[in-house]
Amino acid sequence: MQPKPNIVHLPVYQPGKPVDDVKRELGLDEVIKLASNENPFGSSPKVKEAIARELENISIYPDGAAVELSNALAKHHDVNADQIIFGAGSDEIILMIARAFLVPGDETIMADQTFPQYKHNAQIENAVIIEVPLQAGTHDLPAMLERVTDKTKVIWVCNPNNPTGTINTSEEVEAFLSKVPSHILVVLDEAYCEYVEDPTFPDGLKLLEKYPNVITLRTFSKIYGLASLRIGYGIGRPDVIRSINQVREPFNTSRFGQAAALAALQDEQFIEYCRVQNKQGLAYFNSSFTELGLLAFPAHGNFIMVDVQRPSQEVFDALLRKGIIVRAGHKLYPTYIRITVGSQEQNEKVIAALTAVLQEIAVKV
C-alpha cells in the first residue's frame, strides 16, 4: 500500500528523550529533562482536584463543543464563545488550519527556524512552503511581507519564537498586519505569551479587533502545566473559527483535559508563581552564560537558546551522560542548544554540568 507521494519524505516528529530511557540506557539514578518546555512546577492543586472528580465519568464522552470551558475562557479573555476552538494541544489546531485553508499549490509563509509543525502540516496538504530567514533569531516580518503573492493563503508567526525565544514587538507586528492583504490568514502562535514581561510584546487578542484575518493560538501545556492532557485553543473571528471547526474531529479534547483547563483558569496565584520563578531562572541562566563567555538569544518564553561554541550534538551527548536532557540539532543553529527553565536546583545542576562538559571538550581539543 503506497502513501501519498508528498508525505514519503516527511520526518517523524522526535520528542525529547524520555527520562526513563536515559536512566535505563546510561545506568543513572537521577536525570533532569529540560528539553520539552514543560512546567517544572507541575500544575495547580485545583487541577488535580478537578481530575479526581472527573474519574467517575471515564465511560462518558466529553462535551464535543466544550461549552463550559468555552464560556469560561471567553469570559477570561473578554471574547465571545464562538470565537474559540479547542484542540489536542495547539498542534492540532495548526493541523486543522492547514486542512481547512490550504490546497495543493497554495503558498504558505513561515520563518526558516521556527515550530516545525507549521511546515509539516502544510506539506501534508501539498502546499508550497516559503521559508524566510530569521534575523538575529527573530522573524523578519518585512521580508516575509515581500514574499506575499496572489497564491499566499496562510502566514505563520511564532511569537515568542520556538526555538529561539525571541519576540517581535507590537509596533513590528502592527506594521506587518496593516500591509497583509485581508484575505490571507495570519496565525499568531502565542504558546508562551503568559511568560512574556516585555512591555513591547503585542497582545494577539487586541489585534483581533482590528484585523479580522488574524487567529491567535494559545495552550494549557506550558505555564498551566497540562502538557500530558493535550489541550490548546485558538481565538479568531467567528467565521474563521467556523471554517476550522468544519474539519475538527468529534470529541477531540478529553473530559480530563477540559476539566483541568477549567480549574487551571481559576488559579491565577499559581500562574503568577510560575511566571516569577521563570523570570528568576532566565536571569540565572543569562548571568551564568555571561560568566562562561557564551551568548544566548534574548529569551521571553520558558526556555533559552544558547551558543555553546561547539557542535550541539557533541554537547548534547556529553550532557546526557551526566543525566541532563536538553534540545539540540537545530538545522540553522548547529552550535546552539535549547534549555527549558527548570527549578533553581535543576538550573544550577544544568550549569554545573555544562561547565564541566565545556571544560572536558576544551581539554580534548
pLDDT given for residue 17 in this prediction: 66
For residues 195 and 315, state if they share a domain: no
Q: Using an 8 Å Cβ cutoff, are 285 and 339 in contact? A: yes
pLDDT given for residue 93 in this prediction: 98
**Phi, psi of 91, deg, nearest 5:** -55, -45
pLDDT given for residue 12 in this prediction: 65
For residues 256 and 308, state if they share a domain: no
Q: Of 266, 286, 321, which residue is a domain's last?
A: 266
Structural domain of 148 = 45-266
Read off the CATH number of the domain in which 207 is found: 3.40.640.10
Nearest to 244 by CA among 283, 294, 160, 187: 187
Q: How far apart are the C-alpha atoms of 241 and 154, rounded to whole Å?
A: 15
For residues 238 and 193, state if they share a domain: yes
Listed in sequence order, the DSSP H helices in the chain are 19-26, 45-54, 67-77, 89-101, 117-124, 141-146, 170-177, 204-210, 238-245, 255-265, 268-292, 312-321, 344-364
Express each pLDDT in 274-292 by its tens digit. Answer: 999 999 999 999 999 999 9
For residues 218 and 315, state if they share a domain: no
Domain count, the chain: 2
Q: What is the pTM of this model?
A: 0.94
Q: Of 221, 238, 266, which residue is a domain's last?
A: 266
For residues 316 and 210, state if they share a domain: no
Q: Of 266, 286, 310, which residue is a domain's last?
A: 266
Does a structural domain hold residue 20?
yes
For residues 165 and 144, state if they share a domain: yes
For residues 229 and 299, state if they share a domain: no
Q: How far apart are the C-alpha atoms of 177 and 157, rounded to whole Å?
A: 11
Which parts of the chain register pLDDT below 70? 1-2, 8, 10-17, 364-365
